[in-house]
Amino acid sequence: MTVEQITKIAYDAIDDKLGQDISIINIGAVSSLCEYFIVATAGSQRQVKAIADNVEDELTKIGIEPRGKEGYESQTWILLDYGDIMVHIFNEEDRSFYNLEKLWKDAPYVDVDTLA
């Protein structure tokens, strides 16, 4: 399975739980940190956790486990590290504060429809 296919599965898992303002950023174009960041907003702490859980469940179904997980205690920003893909689920306030899109402004955005 390609990293693009895995990214699409993670995107769909976020979308299934009504994640908002979902962005896919091609970090690999400007850094060796990973290939893609997926960044999304949730309307509440409960939804932050529900989205993160759904991403983890859907990727586990295809045999992919996160290398690391952060933020489950606060549930305001959960990071799931899958090596080539990092999934960031924020509440609205934290997404605005950390503004990853501005931090990685040189990295191109990816349209989900172009992923295999």
Domain boundaries, the chain: 3-111
Residue 24, pLDDT score: 97
- Which residues does residue 64 pair with via DSSP β-bridges, in sequence order? none
Kindly report the CATH class assigned to 3-111. alpha beta
Please check the confidence at residue 15 and state whether its pLDDT lies above 80: yes
Please check the confidence at residue 116 and state whether its pLDDT lies above 70: no
- Mean per-residue pLDDT, 12-41: 96
Alpha helices in the chain (DSSP H): 3-16, 45-61, 92-98, 100-103
- Mean per-residue pLDDT, 110-114: 92
Say what the pTM is: 0.94
pLDDT grade, residue 115 (50/70/90)?
confident
